[in-house]
Chains A and B, each alone.
Chain A
Amino acid sequence: MKNKTLFLLLGILLVVSMMLAACGGSTAEETTAPEAPVEETGGEKAAAPAEKVKVSVFVGLGTGTDPDQIAAQEALAEKFNAEHTDIEMEFMIVPNDESGERLVAMVSGGNPPGLVGPGGVDVAATYFDLWLDIGPMIEKDNLDLSDFYGAAVEMYNYPEKTVGLPLGVFPSFIFYNKDKFDAAGLAYPTADYGDTSWDVAALRELAMKLTFDENGNDATSPDFDATKIAEWGFNDSWTDLRGFMTRFDPPGAGRPTTPDMKTALINSDEYKYGLDWLNKAIWVDHFIADSAGQQIIDAANDPFGSELVAMFYSHTWFMPEGLVDLPFEYDFAVAPFSQKGTRMARVHADTFYIPKNFANPEASWEVLKWLTSPENIVEVCLIYGCLPARQSVADEYTAQMEARYGEHDYSVIYGAIDYLDNPHHESWMPNVERVGDILQSDVYDLVFTEPVDDTDALLEDANTAVQALFDEYWAENE
């Protein structure tokens, strides 16, 4: 009897302590994460009509966490708050490596931030179900979108909803080391979008002549030692299969599906050509580093500045950190034409997204409009390194770039916008993260890890696996 009472008491104590622990969860979070005061971020407090509506901007999924950016964002918030009596904006800075989990925790706890960003199209895709459809708000305000680059607006449009208003774009092009070209006695790659001789075959030829082993032999030399490569001719760092393949102009552009997203197109002729090109570039022609070489390039942190690659394909977001105090001369070249004689220069884009379960989406919408307005967009883009998505401020921004980076042919950057990938290579598609894993692990990483004998078969297998994921999704959601 005594034992039974003891067990009962212990049992009650356990249940009560579990309940207390569960209720006290947010307190623990607050003590461990003072920089993200969760209690203060939600809309519940803001619901009181007399108070200012607080809109917390969750920053951390992309850029925006460097100390100078934090200071600039605080100044931006002050500016906004001085101009508004009904809304208070504040930036919530979360370290990048924990931002995803933190956002999920806030959302699942029913306490989402008012805005999330700046984030790329991949952020829109990854958390696709989270975002509010801002289409009705655009309609209600009769917002004029004509000043934005048309393709930039398109990036956020899905059949079922519009998830963002363009803030900035990051066109892609080639950064090249002029000193390496001079040393090799080679002509610079073109800055002319009309030069049809500059295609993927010409890129290959040039890149091989700029790839050197430790003995100084280039990759076209019979004495070239592929086990001791010291410098590579070309690299397209920090992308994935969908991004890499855009240069071969595949059907569906950056989204290898039919327009209704029901049929996978991983096995298109363009994908097959592109993967074979990449496979040979790494293992036969050696002008792109294999996975071990990529680790060296990654370890250098700055592939271009460390002089490990002669031609570096990247986006404008590379410029603020990548083009500082370089010990060599550099310039910009245009993306090459594809094997079909067409051109696609993928783009990255950033904006802020509104979580659909935020209590005051109208306030978030006002902040978003303010951030992307012609009056503020240049200032905002200077913080994040993006090119403003409004055509009317192009000259103003070019002047800023010239002041920072000196005299270059900036038409290369603006010209790339005409060739961007639409649909975008980071855009949502059914089971997007699982599909991404298949494309990355089973195809892209594999080609970098070991030579692939039959790249066509590899793509056919991947296509089958991706199609199965599409079928699974549509079976549940149609």
Chain B
Amino acid sequence: MIASLYFSFTKYNIIDPPTWIGLRNYQRMLFEDPLFWHSLQRTLYYAALALPLGLLFGLFLAILLNQKIPGVNLWRTAYFLPSVVAGVAVSLLFVRLFNPRVGLINPFLMSIGIENPPGWMNDPNWSIPTLVIMSLWGVGGGMIIYLAGLQGIPTALYEAAKIDGAGTWHRFRHVTIPMITPVIFYNLVMGLIGSFQYFTEVYVATSGNGGPLRSTLVYNLYLYQNAFKYFEMGYASSLAWFLLLLTLVATLLVFRSSPFWVFYEGEVRK
């Protein structure tokens, strides 16, 4: 890390020794490189869709699988399993499924009456949403953590609420949600960091070029291109350090907001 911090202040093409250029890389990044801002925007767009959807979908599945249904362990395993499949394999699978001409998804959509289904990864407007849908495949990891949180809620709280006349929605809203806010907080922080570090799936799905038309050129992919395609290790290091800073600030903001919405059992609030 110390070396990469040093490189971020140098011009370094790997072959020749690094040359000290001070803040030039950071100046270029912030004021001269439109692709830096573009990749940042693509990352934030992805995070804005993937993060809340992942949190909600994971919670939804956890609630479903917290019910007393036959073969519940089998269901839980089935929904958790995809999250341990390697990202590369998942990406290759979904690229094929989403192919507008030979994939299985568009014929299905057409069979249910959608005449002009999206071009998915072929359409610059749909490529990020397609990646977001792909990301939901791995929601089982978050689901398991939610499930643990849900099972840790004392049943006495539900019983007391029921006696007080609370219906299903109110019990969910005023008992379940507050009691699992630490879990939501944990999943939010991990999801946020994961979104900023998003790379493998988009690299595989686009062969590393961020297409179509740079619509999926997320920050880490651009960083990778600078390091291993353009051989600008110094500039790539500055991008990496900016990402670290950005992630740190975003995570810090989430931590700062936590006293307003995260409830810890036994906590006494001033």
Interface positions of A (Cβ within 8 A of B): 100-101, 104, 107-108, 126-127, 129-130, 291-293, 295-296, 299, 356-357, 431, 433-434, 437, 440-442, 445-446, 449
Instruction: Tell which of B96, B101, B231 touches A293, judged by Cβ atoms closer than 8 Å.
Output: B101
A291 with B15: CB separation less than 8 A: no
Beta-carbon contact of A104 and B99 below 8 Å = no
Residues in B neighbouring A295, C-beta threshold 8 A: 99-102, 122
Chain B residues whose CB sits within 8 angstroms of the CB of A130 once the complex forms: 15
Q: A293-B101, A433-B229 are in contact. Are A441 and B213 (CB under 8 A)?
A: yes
Select A445's contact among B16, B99, B101, B212, beta carbons within 8 Å. B212
User: Are A292 and B100 within 8 A (Cβ)?
Assistant: yes
Give B206-249 interface residues, CB cut-off 8 Å to A.
Answer: 209-214, 225, 228-231, 233
B6 to chain A minimum Cβ distance, whole angstroms, is 13
Q: 12 A-B pairs, CB-CB below 8 angstroms?
A: A101-B228, A108-B233, A129-B16, A292-B100, A295-B102, A295-B122, A299-B99, A357-B15, A431-B230, A442-B213, A445-B213, A449-B213
Give the distance to chain B from A432, nearest Cβ to Cβ, in Å: 9
Mask: chain B, 76-116; 1 = CB below 8 Å from A; 0 = not: 00000000000000000000100111100000000000000
Report the bound CA distance from A295 to B103 in whole Å.
Answer: 10
Please name all residues of chain B whose beta carbon is closer than 8 Å to the beta carbon of A107 when the two chains form the complex.
14-15
Main secondary structure of the interface of B (DSSP, over half): loop
Q: Which residues of chain A are within 8 angstroms of B231 by Cβ–Cβ distance?
A: 104, 127, 129
Contact A446–B213 (Cβ < 8 Å): yes
Bound Cα distance from A431 to B33, whole angstroms: 14
In the complex, whether B178 has a CB less than 8 A from a CB of chain A is no
The chain A residue sitting closest to B119, CB to CB, is A292
Question: Given A104-B228, A441-B209, do A299 and B102 touch, yes or no (CB 8 Å)?
Answer: yes
Which of A357, A433, A442 makes the CB contact (< 8 A) with B230?
A433
CA–CA, A107 and B119, complex, Å: 41
| B96 nearest CB neighbor, chain A only | A299
Is B15's CB under 8 angstroms from A129's CB?
Answer: yes
Q: Is B251 on the interface with A (CB-CB < 8 A)?
A: no
11 further interface pairs, Cβ-Cβ under 8 Å (given A129-B231, A295-B101): A291-B122, A292-B99, A292-B119, A293-B101, A295-B99, A299-B102, A431-B230, A433-B230, A437-B209, A441-B213, A449-B124
User: Nearest Cβ in chain B — how far from A226, in angstroms?
Assistant: 13
* B197 on the A face (CB < 8 A): no
Q: Which residues of B contact A431 (CB under 8 A)?
A: 230
Contact A291 B99 (CB under 8 A): no
Which A residues touch B225, using CB under 8 A?
437
A residues near B66, Cβ cutoff 8 Å: none
Closest residue of chain A to B229 (Cβ to Cβ) is A433
B13 within 8 A of A: yes
- The 5 A-B residue pairs whose C-beta atoms are closest, nearest first, are A108-B14, A292-B100, A441-B214, A129-B15, A292-B101
Q: Tell me how far the C-beta of A211 lies from the nearest C-beta in chain B, rounded to whole angstroms.
A: 15
Q: Contact: B122 with A100, CB < 8 Å?
A: no
CA distance A130 to B16 in the complex (A): 9
Q: For A440, what are the chain B residues with a Cβ–Cβ distance below 8 Å?
A: 209
CB-based contact B122/A292 at 8 Å: yes
Shortest CB-to-CB span from A477 to chain B, Å, is 11
CA distance A441 to B16 in the complex (A): 30
- Kindly list chain A residues whose C-beta atoms are within 8 Å of the C-beta of B210: 441
Per the 8 Å Cβ criterion, residues 138-197 of B in contact with A are none
Q: Which chain A residues lie closer than 8 Å to B100 at the CB level?
A: 292, 295
Contact at A296–B13, with CB atoms within 8 Å? no
Find chain B residues with CB under 8 A from A293 CB: 101
Give every chain B residue within 8 A of A442 (Cβ-Cβ): 213
Residues of A within 8 A of B99 (CB): 292, 295-296, 299
A441 to B207, CA, bound (A): 13
Complex partner residue of B101 from A100, A296, A449, CB under 8 angstroms: A296
A449-B119 Cα distance, complex, nearest whole Å: 10
Given A101-B228, A104-B231, A449-B124, A441 and B211 contact (CB-CB distance below 8 Å): yes
> Nearest residue in A to B210 (C-beta to C-beta)?
A441
Within the complex, the shortest CB–CB distance from A68 to chain B, in Å, comes to: 26
Q: Please, how many angstroms separate the alpha-carbon atoms of A108 and B14 in the complex? A: 5
**Which chain A residue lies CB-closest to B95?**
A295
- Give the distance in Å from the alpha carbon of A100 to the alpha carbon of B228 in the complex: 8
A291 contacts across to B, CB distance below 8 A: 122, 212
Assembly CA distance A138 to B170 (angstroms): 85
- Using an 8 Å CB-CB cutoff, how does the interface string of B25-37 with A read, 1 for contact, 0 for none? 0000000000000
Q: Which residues of B contact A441 (CB under 8 A)?
A: 209-211, 213-214
Return B165 CB to nearest CB of chain A, in Å: 53
Contact of B211 among A108, A434, A445 (CB under 8 A): A445
What is the minimal beta-carbon distance from B93 to any residue of chain A, in angstroms?
13
